[in-house]
Structure 1
Amino acid sequence: MKKNVLIIGAGGVGQVAAHKCAQHNRQLGDIHIASRNIRKCLAIIDSIHEKGALQDPKGVLRAHALDAMDTAATRRLIEKTGAQIVINLGHAFVNMSVLEACIQSGAAYIDTAIHEDPTRICEAPPWYANHEWKRKPACAEKGITAILGCGFDPGVVNAYAALAVQEYFDHVDSIDIIDINAGSHGRYFATNFNPEINFREFTGKVWSWQNSAWTQNRMFEVKRTDTLPIVGQQTSYLTGHDELHSLSQHLNVPNIRFWMGFGEHYINVFTVLRNLGLLSEKPVKLDDGREVVPLQLVKAVLPDPASLAPGYVGKTCIGNLVKGQKDGQEREIFIYNVADHVEAFAEVGSQGISYTAGVPAVAAAVLIAQGTWDVQKMVNVEELPCKPFINLMNAIGLPTHIRIGNNQEDMLLSFELDEQAQEA
């Protein structure tokens, strides 16, 4: 059994994860938070104490300054803190350095997003094969548990996809992952997480898995409208996303697509920024000879996503619309979660987008600590037992519901598991 957690990253998702780890510190042990900006870590610790979130009030809760791009420094901090579980919630550029530090130190590794090379946007699919999956042999050789993409999407939606294939269908024709934020932050324009990473997702090619092959589109080229639980009728756009790169390789499903909701105002501002060249990751030279990266400049002038939380209202709805056949009949199901921005802020001081990303990462840490997910190799979430994961999230803040066919009576999805199944 593993214990003692090091959280890398002190943004909105890091805050959620720290609060949730604190709520389970009798099982998880010492909680450490690290970031280049130690003041952000200290502010999170203050918020945990203010809310009385520590399950064991005498438990260790400490802040550390760290440049997570420095593998040696990250390894030293892992060893200094005695952390056996590392939750990497830093920006996507640090994945490989933190993963390598975990391989060297023997700690389990969890992240919530695919690795990104700062000099490249929208890499060739399957993207995981370009970076993380190259470390599979090293993880297997050293018995390192590395769980990739364990936020909500990617993460929970991967578990939903695996569950649908395993339990609800004999054959699956399509999985459409739909991500809707029906909330409002009240600002003129802002992104819900790191603006640099957010814009990089949408400025490159849109890759989807269709007819068992990679298909390319442009951003905002293809859209759909669905009537969803709680949030009602919503329009979303075909978008490239992390989970497609693993689900397409691990599940025998010919069509897997990702759809994200955008308002017209967001699309208009995004389009202007892109057409002006302000979303480029390539440096440009100013008149005085200095160089600046336009995308980083835009990031600097936009609101910090964590600052949106106090005024955020409304709900999110994220789920998988799955179609196929069961017992010779056509079937359609929607497996989903609805989260509330106001409730998230009241509990952990973050908005709902951060909440949906942070809670699953902590659920993974708890399952590793229990031994259920301590698989001693590198995996994506769809390769793990999904039922204990869904049950745990029901208990700690992200309940899963399911709608089968046209039945409007959605039900909470939970599973009776014997002790052997819990440890599977």
Structure 2
Amino acid sequence: MKKNVLIIGAGGVAQVAAHKCAQANDRFGEIHIASRTLAKCEAIVASVRDKGAMKVKDGVIAAHQLDALDVPATVALIRKVKAEIVINLGSAFVNMSVMSACIETGAAYIDTAIHEDPLKICETPPWYGNYEWRRREEVEKAGITAILGAGFDPGVVNAYARLAEDDYLDEITSIDIVDVNAGSHGKWFATNFDPEINFREFTGVVYSWQNGAWQTNQMFEIPREWDLPVVGKRPTYMTGHDEIHSLSARYPKADVRFWMGFGERYVQVFTVLKNLGLLSEQPVKTAEGQSVVPLKVVKACLPNPAELAPEYEGKTCIGDLVKGRKDGRDAEVFIYNVADHKDAFEEVGSQGISYTAGVPPVAAALLIADGTWDVKKMVNVEDLPPKPFLDLLGRMGLPTQVKVNGEAASLDLAA
């Protein structure tokens, strides 16, 4: 049965999701896009039509204005458009509000990032336990499916860990998630997604799960060079990230770390901004008595990530190196994806970072729609069978590749 979809948010990731929903609108029903700025939603609708993305050409795709922090307004819109699946791609600040609206209306809920309080940075782990997981009983009582962190990381990398558990290792001792963007956007400095969320992600304590406990480090304290498929040798740093907070619960005996690639310029700019206090989320007063939030000022001065796509070239490589034991011997598997910025732009008008984040929640929505992932409770991606998800992603433009003990291996995604 077809299910109407409501996408909340109108950034680069939402644009990708809208295109992918349109490409599958023979399996979805109507597609609706909502954000505070109606013009951005209308631009996405126009992009979908300009690309001829609608599989059913006369299908409905419409734009709406919405403040997603307003729960009654979100409830009203869900009911008005008869949405049965809500893909929340708005700011991480709206997660709890959108989830409340889904609980009230009975719509399935999907997001791609952990909830954030705008007045807090880097909460104590496990972060999901501070917000989302506290609402498990509420979600289950409402009989809805809520899939948390269904982007790429978190999301696909969680499914990679589960695939390693299911098919490749008898025991898991470590999970190292590696995210490298080897592309170039031609700007002197820019972030690949919302600058406010990007900087907040790296200004707090770096949490990792090692030796059966939470460990703390500072940002850019622990470097590591990785030699990855296609993109080659790249410098990374251990950072905190959403998926560590859920994977550590499923794999408490394994070390779980996240490594992100950073160029020298990013490290330098970030360090200067942080040391000057310009990445603070707390308001300050100017000499003229005006109250401003430094981080929001920095965001306003930087390029809009959605505008980077036309000049972006190069590739990304994101994957999990999972180590453990198989048949009594040490073993490892690297499960990964390589995406191309130019290919993403040609298909959906967005750069590769948005593409990798925007395709997976649509795949999750399709699996809810056909019943495969419609579990009627709150779950993280690693709690679900990974093969239907990864198989669908491969057909949607994000194929999974595998190396077992350093050697390329075939991948069987038959359920």
Structure 1 segment 176-191 matched on structure 2, within 5 A: 176-191=176-191
Count the aligned residue pairs: 415
Taking structure 2 as the reference length, what is the TM-score of the superposition? 0.99
Equivalent residue for 1:16? 16
Contact (CA 8 Å) 2:231, 2:315: kept in 1 or not? yes
Equivalent residue for 2:307? 307
- Return the letter of the residue paired with 1:77: L
After TM superposition, give the deviation of residue 406 of structure 1 in Å.
Answer: 2.5
| Residues in 2 aligned to 1:118 and 1:253: alpha-carbon distance in whole angstroms | 33
After TM superposition, give the deviation of residue 26 of structure 1 in Å.
Answer: 1.0
Equivalent residue for 1:416? 414
Contact (CA 8 Å) 2:2, 2:27: kept in 1 or not? no
Equivalent residue for 1:198? 198
Runs of at least 5 residues in structure 2 that lack an aligned partner in the other structure: none
Contact (CA 8 Å) 2:172, 2:251: kept in 1 or not? no
Equivalent residue for 2:337? 337
Taking structure 1 as the reference length, what is the TM-score of the superposition? 0.97
Q: 1:26 is paired with a residue of what secondary structure?
A: coil
Q: 1:376 is paired with a residue of what secondary structure?
A: coil
Spell out structure 1 runs of 4+ moving beyond 2 A.
251-254
Structure 1 segment 8-407 matched on structure 2, within 5 A: 8-407=8-407
| Residues in 2 aligned to 1:253 and 1:95: alpha-carbon distance in whole angstroms | 30
| Residues in 2 aligned to 1:234 and 1:332: alpha-carbon distance in whole angstroms | 20
- Return the letter of the residue paired with 1:277: G
| Residues in 2 aligned to 1:340 and 1:247: alpha-carbon distance in whole angstroms | 27
Residue deviations 1:221-272 (CA, integer Å, cap 9, x gap): 0011111100001111000000000111122442000000000011001111
After TM superposition, give the deviation of residue 289 of structure 1 in Å.
Answer: 1.4
Q: 2:317 is paired with a residue of what secondary structure?
A: strand
Contact (CA 8 Å) 1:2, 1:85: kept in 2 or not? no
- Return the letter of the residue paired with 1:167: D
| Residues in 1 aligned to 2:123 and 2:401: alpha-carbon distance in whole angstroms | 34
| Residues in 2 aligned to 1:117 and 1:109: alpha-carbon distance in whole angstroms | 19
After TM superposition, give the deviation of residue 332 of structure 1 in Å.
Answer: 1.3
After TM superposition, give the deviation of residue 23 of structure 1 in Å.
Answer: 0.2
Contact (CA 8 Å) 1:7, 1:18: kept in 2 or not? yes
After TM superposition, give the deviation of residue 112 of structure 1 in Å.
Answer: 0.2
| Residues in 2 aligned to 1:173 and 1:13: alpha-carbon distance in whole angstroms | 33
Equivalent residue for 1:421? none
After TM superposition, give the deviation of residue 410 of structure 1 in Å.
Answer: 4.7
Q: 1:178 is paired with a residue of what secondary structure?
A: strand
Contact (CA 8 Å) 1:162, 1:251: kept in 2 or not? no
- Return the letter of the residue paired with 1:97: S
| Residues in 1 aligned to 2:330 and 2:404: alpha-carbon distance in whole angstroms | 11
After TM superposition, give the deviation of residue 166 of structure 1 in Å.
Answer: 2.0
| Residues in 2 aligned to 1:99 and 1:143: alpha-carbon distance in whole angstroms | 13
Contact (CA 8 Å) 1:4, 1:84: kept in 2 or not? yes
Residue deviations 1:72-123 (CA, integer Å, cap 9, x gap): 1001000000000000000100000000000000000000000000000000
Contact (CA 8 Å) 1:364, 1:389: kept in 2 or not? yes
| Residues in 1 aligned to 2:262 and 2:57: alpha-carbon distance in whole angstroms | 42
Contact (CA 8 Å) 2:109, 2:145: kept in 1 or not? yes
- Return the letter of the residue paired with 1:149: G
Q: 1:331 is paired with a residue of what secondary structure?
A: strand
| Residues in 2 aligned to 1:382 and 1:159: alpha-carbon distance in whole angstroms | 5
Contact (CA 8 Å) 2:2, 2:29: kept in 1 or not? no
Contact (CA 8 Å) 2:319, 2:334: kept in 1 or not? yes
What is the aligned-residue identity percentage?
66
After TM superposition, give the deviation of residue 2 of structure 1 in Å.
Answer: 6.0
| Residues in 1 aligned to 2:412 and 2:80: alpha-carbon distance in whole angstroms | 39
| Residues in 2 aligned to 1:170 and 1:374: alpha-carbon distance in whole angstroms | 28
| Residues in 2 aligned to 1:121 and 1:275: alpha-carbon distance in whole angstroms | 16
Runs of at least 5 residues in structure 1 that lack an aligned partner in the other structure: 418-424
Contact (CA 8 Å) 1:2, 1:368: kept in 2 or not? no
| Residues in 1 aligned to 2:409 and 2:345: alpha-carbon distance in whole angstroms | 26
After TM superposition, give the deviation of residue 172 of structure 1 in Å.
Answer: 0.9
Residue deviations 1:150-198 (CA, integer Å, cap 9, x gap): 0000000000011111221111110000000000000010000000000
- Return the letter of the residue paired with 1:347: E
After TM superposition, give the deviation of residue 336 of structure 1 in Å.
Answer: 0.1
Instruction: Report the more deviating stretch, 314-323 or 245-254.
Output: 245-254
Q: 2:190 is paired with a residue of what secondary structure?
A: coil
Cα gap change, 1:168 to 1:253, in 2 (>3 Å) = farther
Please tell me the root mean square deviation across aligned C-alpha atoms, in Å. Answer: 0.9
Contact (CA 8 Å) 1:15, 1:348: kept in 2 or not? yes
